[in-house]
A and B are shown apart, each in its own frame.
Chain A
Amino acid sequence: MSDPTNKDEQPGQAKQDEEQDMIHVEAQERLGAGLKTMYHNVLQEPLPEDMLALLDKLDDSDSSSGSGSPSNE
Chain B
Amino acid sequence: MSDHKQLSAADFKKELAETIPHLRAFGRSLSGNADLADDLVQDTLLKAWAARERFKAGTSMRAWTFVILRNTYFSNMRRKKFTANYDEIVAERILSAPAPQQDPLHLADLQRGLMELSDDQREAIILVGAGGYAYEEAAEIAGCAIGTMKSRVSRARKTLAGILKNGRFTAASEGEINPTETALENIIGAVDEIVSEVP
Chain A interface (Cβ within 8 Å of chain B)? 24, 27-28, 30-43, 45, 47-48, 50-51, 54-55, 58-59, 61-62, 65, 67-72
Do most interface residues of chain A lie in helix, strand or loop, or is the interface mixed? helix
Interface of B is mostly: helix
Q: Which residues of B does A touch, CB under 8 Å?
A: 9, 13, 16-17, 20-22, 24-26, 28-29, 38, 41-42, 45-53, 75, 94, 97-101, 103-105, 107, 110-111, 125-126, 129-132, 157, 160-161, 164-165, 196-198
Q: For residue A50, which residues in chain B have a CB less than 8 angstroms away from its CB?
A: 42
- Which residue of the partner chain, among B42, B110, B164, contacts A54 with CB atoms under 8 Å? B42
Once the chains bind, are B126 and A71 in contact (CB under 8 Å)? Answer: no
Residues of B within 8 A of A61 (CB): 46, 49-50
Residues of B within 8 A of A30 (CB): 103-105
Q: Are B22 and A31 in contact (CB under 8 A)?
A: no
From known contacts A51-B20, A72-B197, infer whether A58 and B13 are also in contact, taking CB-CB under 8 Å: yes
Which residue of A35, A41, A68 is within 8 Å of B129 (Cβ)?
A35
Are A39 and B16 neighbours in the complex by a CB distance under 8 Å? Answer: no
**Least Cβ–Cβ distance between B137 and chain A, in angstroms:** 15
A38–B160 CA distance with the chains assembled, in angstroms: 15
**Cross-chain contact B9 with A54 (CB below 8 angstroms):** no
Say yes or no: A38 contacts B110, CB within 8 Å.
yes
Please determine whether A42 and B50 come into contact, CB atoms closer than 8 angstroms. no
Q: Would you mind naming 30 contact pairs between A and B with Cβ atoms under 8 Å apart?
A: A24-B161, A28-B161, A30-B103, A31-B105, A31-B129, A31-B160, A33-B103, A33-B105, A34-B107, A35-B110, A35-B129, A35-B130, A36-B100, A36-B129, A36-B132, A37-B97, A37-B99, A37-B107, A39-B130, A42-B29, A43-B25, A50-B42, A51-B41, A51-B45, A58-B13, A61-B46, A67-B50, A68-B50, A68-B51, A72-B197
Cβ A39 vs Cβ B46 within 8 A: no
Closest residue to A30 on the B side, CB-wise?
A: B105
